[in-house]
A = this chain, B = another copy of it.
Amino acid sequence: MEALERKILECGTVAPGNVLKVNSFLNHQLDVAFLCEMGKEFHRLFEKEGVNKILTIEASGIGIACLTAQYFGCNVVFAKKSRSSNISNDLYTAKSYSYTHGTANDVIVSKIFLNPGDRVLIIDDFLAHGSALLALIDIVEQAGATVVGAGIAIEKAYQDGGRIVREKGYRVESLARVASMSVEEGVKFVRDEAL
């Protein structure tokens, strides 16, 4: 999605430690009109898949998941990273490791919100090592539901998450694929012809 690549070049910055900061539109401030355009693109890509539920993970996946869900006419379930007092005890759980936060999390979804027969599109803002995405896939399959694919805003294609998930046979559509980034040279993208 060229518009997202342009947005990353215009608004994103690379911080030391090769952290891509897109706080101004995707992670902290949310550019709602732009996220709607991304939602329309996810819908275009997956509209023939009979999606009846979108699964994401708190916190920064929630905005884009909700805005995308409008185009599918479906609900969103967001997986939680901690067990709070207002969640039931009947849960699917999977392990995920956040390299951004340096923490291991249980990823949690109440069983009543995923059912056999559900056709689930997983939406998330980033795909890097794939740990969160693999945990979400695991949870959908524990429920006996179908993963129709994953819609990712930004894939760090130089890390191995995308390859691992695709090799398992899942469809992954990333709206921008970062080939490399550095403080000195900025962000470079994988272009379609190189896929």
Q: Is the CB of B30 within 8 A of A87?
A: no
Interface residues of A (CB under 8 A from B): 15, 17, 19-21, 23-24, 27-33, 35-36, 58-59, 62-63, 65-67, 69-70, 73-78, 80, 82, 84-88, 100-102, 109-110, 112-113
Q: Is the CB of B31 within 8 A of A86?
A: no
Q: Which residue of B lies closest to A70 (CB)?
A: B32
Which residues in B have their C-beta under 8 angstroms from that of A110? Answer: 23, 28-29
| Alpha-carbon separation in the docked complex, A58 to B76 (Å) | 16
Report the minimum CB–CB distance from A124 to chain B (whole Å): 14
7 tightest Cβ-Cβ pairs between the two chains A and B: A58-B59, A59-B59, A62-B62, A63-B66, A30-B76, A32-B69, A29-B113
Q: Which residue of B lies closest to A33 (CB)?
A: B73
Report the minimum CB–CB distance from A14 to chain B (whole Å): 11
